[in-house]
Chains A and B, each alone.
Chain A
Amino acid sequence: MRSVHALAATVLSLLAISEIAHAGEKQGGIFRIYHRDSPGSASIHEEATYSTNVPFMPVFNNLVIYKQDVAQNSLDSIVPDLAESWSWSGDKKTLSFKLRQGVKWHDGKPFTSADVKCTFDMLMGKSQQKFRKNPRKSWYDEVADVTTSGDFEVAFNLKRPQPALLALLASGYTPIYSCHVSPAQMRTHPIGTGPFKFVEFKANESIKLVRNPDYWKKGFPHLDGIEFTIIANRSTAILGFVSGKFDMTFPTEVSIPLLKDVKNQAPNAVCVVEPNNVSTNIIVNSSSPPFDSLDIRRALALALDRKAFVNILFEGQADIGGTMLPAPAGLWAMPKEMLETIPGYGPDVNANREEARKLMQKAGYGPDKHLAVKVSTRNIPIYRDPAVILIDQLKSIYIDADLDVVETANWFSKVARKDYALGLNLTGNAVDDPDQSFYENYSCKSERNYTNYCNAEIEKMFDVQSQETDVEKRKKLVWEIDKKIQEDVARPIILHSRTGTCWHPYVKGVTVMVNSSYNGYRYEDVWLDK
């Protein structure tokens, strides 16, 4: 009995604390953020950059969402959003959602299960209305169809079990669109159910959102609105933040060297440096000489001094790992001792390079006969800078590489044509889950598998891990796959970057997510203490 009383007292005091905390949250104010560039459109489903997610995620809701005040995205941090609850069928092939009632779109029309079906039918290419671009169509490869039962129940019927589907649905990349708003309108004037309504998007100038007074989550959002000022020049943007014109920098956009400037000029600013689940990697054209030779690919992997990349580019603040984001931020990365058994990851760089030179000599190259190649990359500093370091490191194994700088407009068509030998590439992962990373980047049929790496044995392992419901068992499978991919030198991962975000101390309720830079921008619980 005493314990029941104690429990009741604890619950009551927790509730009281929660009320006090809630009461302390001030209402009102415009949250001012600078935006790094002008997004291609306002349609999250049609874009593949967080330049679109950051300003437009507050306009929408998902079925489920990663809890916005938990920094690490995981299956445990997924909470209901437009869905009130979800359940898996016994055979794990049906994921059912009970939907929230009384939710209205920003134009006043009611939200129903038909909207959910419309959204996923469009994503799967099954509807009359089409997206101009559909970069994440492959996320739903295992979904046979989406069915509704009445206005407030919807079910995803899968071809095979895929527990990670829930993780994909919780991403900032998976908002629910309305049936009655065309994809074209979503690109220019999005209508959502979210905490903020779209006001205007002036290309290269600004994006404005205003509080949705009819938001279904009572008491939210705290802000009257959000204004994004598009400032392409980073120096101007940072100066704007320092001078107080902006409340927060663009999320995860402050580089490590710039962070020092910010802290010097605005010592009170709150700055955090977190991994953003973006890897710097090398795409290797293994379909033509010289990198069709596994020996030369292995020599390439052995030549890499990853610590040098980390020190030069990130002043030591980046992580070394395989495909999956390293721990502690990442959930699926193999342990360090396992990683170090992969060629090129061992701590002794000189010994690695000695081995690499032997492999090169075996392939017919040596001090008197260097291999001439081009390292192609996009004409953007974050691509170009590591490419230059790579070229320098390749010299140590008889490879003379030239930098081939390619304009962004021509990059993907060049890669798709396989018109490159080596490419320096950056890969952002929206969800820290092997299903997203493996299928998107390494599956035989994926459009984003730039190297066309295709290994039937690995492909089978992808499916096995994808269906595994026991997280610990799945982790072990994922480690094996990741190790094998690295050993095949499909797309050597150089590093996983970390970046900074700063805000002024009066900004409260901001959480920078540590294993994805695509999912944490709902901003409904952000408030300004001024």
Chain B
Amino acid sequence: MFAYIVRRLVLMLVTLFGISVIIFVLLRIVPGNIVDILFAAAGYVDQADKANLERELGLDQPIVVQYLQWIGGMLRGDLGYSYVSEKPALDEILPRIPITARLAGLALLFSASMGIPLGVISAVKQGTRLDYFLRVVSLSGLSLPSFWLGLLILMASVAMFGTMPIFNPNPKTWTEALAIYCVPALAVGFRSAALTMRITRSSMLEVLRQDYIRTARAKGASEQSVNFHHALKNAILPVITVIGIEAAFLIGGLIVTETVFNIPGVARFLVEAIRWRDYPIVQNLVMLIAVVVVLANFTVDMLYAALDPRIRYTD
């Protein structure tokens, strides 16, 4: 087990190195850099001024030198300066992480707490009206784009309550504080909950047909015990896998949700940074996301062993 973990950690480092190279190269392949954009915003191009600015930002250096400077800085904890705000990249990124983490955590919580129980109910009540209704709900969740759902929620909120839960760094009441995170989490978590519901349902249906479930029922176990103790425990592995993948993919859903609800999180900041070709911000943020994804995968793999005694990682 220990050797497996070490091997996985080494593999994680290799993966992150590969990602760092890909991010770095891709960013430079995309036409236009921050200097082009700054001059585009100023509506003119002055070659001498451009050259000065490229020199000031270190963009005149060979690409390998730029890469080594970035990696070297990162290892020293120096993420460089944002080209746009001219503030340390770390100062720009750090305050946004808790905001996005809170939102993503709530969305995942919503996804699991709604998706798993409803998936179980849908499977247990297969073929009933309730099952059909829940399947329609889950299909809606998968079909509705989160930006559209977000806008609908905002419009309904304005029409019904005369206010809207867009981000406010200093909420006046606890209900406002709750709303500014829970409502966007609901919008983004709805799709994820729908997916979890569908996976739980199909996994449960497969397990419920197994012989040991019949045996449990024959032994007089209650329906609740059969469904949640015997069936769900065995059906949960694919669900955990999906939730792990969703955690990684959530960032995509958060981009639009953060935009619609005007949440100053990491996802929206990343889009803006890409638009401005703010390399220090984009590189470091994508690396951060890569670390989160790699760690999420690692955690899911470790959870397999904890949840299913049949799974053992051998050296």
A contact set with B: CB distance below 8 Å: 38, 40-41, 46-49, 130, 132-135, 184, 187-188, 201-206, 229-233, 235-236, 239-240, 242-245, 265, 407-413, 416, 447-448
Instruction: Rank and list the top 5 A-B pairs by shortest CB-CB distance, nearest first.
Output: A409-B32, A447-B44, A135-B42, A205-B264, A48-B43
Partner of A447, one of B32, B46, B166, B272: B46
Q: Taking the complex as formed, is B277 at the interface, i.e. its CB lies under 8 A from any CB of chain A? A: yes
Q: Taking the complex as formed, is B268 at the interface, i.e. its CB lies under 8 A from any CB of chain A? A: yes
Cβ distance A446 to chain B, nearest Cβ, rounded Å: 8
B38 in contact with A40 (CB, 8 Å): yes
Q: For B269, what are the chain A residues with a Cβ–Cβ distance below 8 Å?
A: 203-204
Cβ distance A129 to chain B, nearest Cβ, rounded Å: 13
Q: 6 more A-B contacts (CB under 8 A) besides A40-B38, A133-B42?
A: A38-B272, A48-B42, A48-B44, A243-B162, A243-B163, A448-B43
Q: Which residue of B lies closest to A229 (CB)?
A: B262
The complex places the Cα of A231 from the Cα of B262 at a distance, in Å, of 6
A202 in contact with B262 (CB, 8 Å): no
Jot down 23 A-B pairs with beta carbons below 8 A, ordered by A: A40-B276, A41-B86, A48-B41, A48-B43, A133-B38, A135-B43, A188-B85, A201-B85, A203-B84, A231-B166, A235-B151, A240-B262, A245-B163, A407-B31, A407-B32, A409-B36, A409-B40, A409-B277, A411-B40, A412-B44, A413-B32, A447-B44, A448-B43
Q: Which residue of A lies closest to B269 (CB)?
A: A204
A239 in contact with B262 (CB, 8 Å): no
The complex places the Cα of A497 from the Cα of B45 at a distance, in Å, of 26
Contact code string B12-46 (vs A, CB < 8 Å = 1, else 0): 00000000000000000001110011111111111
Q: Taking the complex as formed, is B296 at the interface, i.e. its CB lies under 8 A from any CB of chain A? A: no
A243 in contact with B158 (CB, 8 Å): yes
Partner of B44, one of A202, A233, A448: A448
Q: Taking the complex as formed, is B208 at the interface, i.e. its CB lies under 8 A from any CB of chain A? A: no
Cβ distance B42 to chain A, nearest Cβ, rounded Å: 4
Q: For A411, what are the chain B residues with a Cβ–Cβ distance below 8 Å?
A: 40
The complex places the Cα of A231 from the Cα of B157 at a distance, in Å, of 18
The complex places the Cα of A233 from the Cα of B31 at a distance, in Å, of 25
B36 in contact with A133 (CB, 8 Å): no
B45 in contact with A416 (CB, 8 Å): yes
Cβ distance A32 to chain B, nearest Cβ, rounded Å: 11
Q: For A265, what are the chain B residues with a Cβ–Cβ distance below 8 Å?
A: 158
Contact code string B39-61 (vs A, CB < 8 Å = 1, else 0): 11111111001001100100000
Q: Taking the complex as formed, is B260 at the interface, i.e. its CB lies under 8 A from any CB of chain A? A: yes
The complex places the Cα of A411 from the Cα of B46 at a distance, in Å, of 14
Partner of B162, one of A47, A244, A448: A244
Q: Taking the complex as formed, is B92 at the interface, i.e. its CB lies under 8 A from any CB of chain A? A: yes
Q: For B277, what are the chain A residues with a Cβ–Cβ distance below 8 Å?
A: 409
Q: For A232, what are the chain B residues with a Cβ–Cβ distance below 8 Å?
A: 259, 262, 268, 272
Q: Taking the complex as formed, is B144 at the interface, i.e. its CB lies under 8 A from any CB of chain A? A: no
Q: Taking the complex as formed, is B261 at the interface, i.e. its CB lies under 8 A from any CB of chain A? A: yes
Q: Taking the complex as formed, is B155 at the interface, i.e. its CB lies under 8 A from any CB of chain A? A: yes
A233 in contact with B164 (CB, 8 Å): no
Q: Which residue of B lies closest to A428 (CB)?
A: B43
